[in-house]
Amino acid sequence: MNKYLDISPEVSAALAAGKPVVALESTIISHGMPYPQNVKTALEVEQIIRDNGAVPATIAIIGGHLKAGLTPEEIEYFGKKGPEIAKASRRDLPVLVARGQDGACTVTTTMMIAHMAGIGVFATGGIGGVHRGAETTMDISADLEELGQTPVMVICAGAKSILDLGLTLEYLETKGVPVIGYGTDELPAFYTRTSGFGVDYRLDTPAELAAAFHAQRAMGLKGGMLVTNPIPEEYSMDPAVINKAIDQAIAECQAQGVHGKATTPFLLARVKDLTGGDSLDSNIQLVFNNARLAARTAAELVKLG
Cα–Cα distance, 97 to 4 (Å, whole number) = 8
Is 106 a binding residue for ligand PSU by CB under 6 A? The answer is yes
Instruction: Yes or no: say if 72 and 8 are a contact pair by the CB < 8 Å rule.
Output: no
The pattern of x and - marking residues 59 through 98 that bind ligand PSU according to CB under 6 A reads ----------------------------------------
# of chain residues touching Mn ion (CB under 5 A): 1
- The residues that bridge with 120 in the sheet, in sequence order, are none
Active-site annotation holds for 25: yes
DSSP for 79-115 reads: HHHGGGSPEE-GGGHHHHHHHT--EEE-HHHHHHHHH
Is 228 a binding residue for ligand PSU by CB under 6 A? The answer is no
Q: Which residue is nearest to ligand PSU (CB)?
A: 126
* β pairing state of 55-62 and 21-24: parallel
Q: Which is nearer to ligand PSU, 15 or 190 (CB)?
A: 190
Is 143 a binding residue for Mn ion by CB under 5 A? The answer is no
60-68, 138-146, 198-206, 293-301 -> range binding ligand PSU (CB under 6 A): 138-146
Compute the residue count for the chain. Answer: 305
**What is the b/e burial string over 220-237, where b = at least 16 CB atoms within 10 angstroms of the residue's CB?**
eeebbbbbbbbbeeebbb
Residues sharing a CB contact under 8 Å with residue 75, sequence separation 6 or more, in sequence order: 29, 39, 42, 43, 46, 58
- In the complex, the smallest distance separating the C-beta of residue 1 from Mn ion, rounded to whole angstroms, is 31
Instruction: Give the one residue of 12, 264, 279, 289 binding ligand PSU; rule: CB under 6 A.
Output: 264
Query: Could you say which of 160, 261, 272, 300 is catalytic?
Result: 160
Active-site annotation holds for 160: yes
Site for ligand PSU in 162-201 (CB under 6 A): 190
Cα–Cα distance, 148 to 12 (Å, whole number) = 27
Residues sharing a CB contact under 8 Å with residue 252, sequence separation 6 or more, in sequence order: 270
Is 139 a binding residue for Mn ion by CB under 5 A? The answer is yes
- In the complex, the smallest distance separating the C-beta of residue 32 from Mn ion, rounded to whole angstroms, is 15
Is 142 a binding residue for ligand PSU by CB under 6 A? The answer is yes
11-19, 136-144, 202-210, 221-229 -> range binding ligand PSU (CB under 6 A): 136-144
# of chain residues touching ligand PSU (CB under 6 A): 19
Is 76 a binding residue for Mn ion by CB under 5 A? The answer is no
Q: Is 243 exposed, middle or buried (0-12, 13-18, 19+ CB in 10 A)?
A: middle
Residues of the shown chain interacting with ligand PSU in the complex, contacts defined by CB under 6 A: 25, 27-28, 32, 106-108, 125-128, 141-143, 160, 190, 261, 264, 268
* Residue positions annotated with a catalytic role: 25, 160
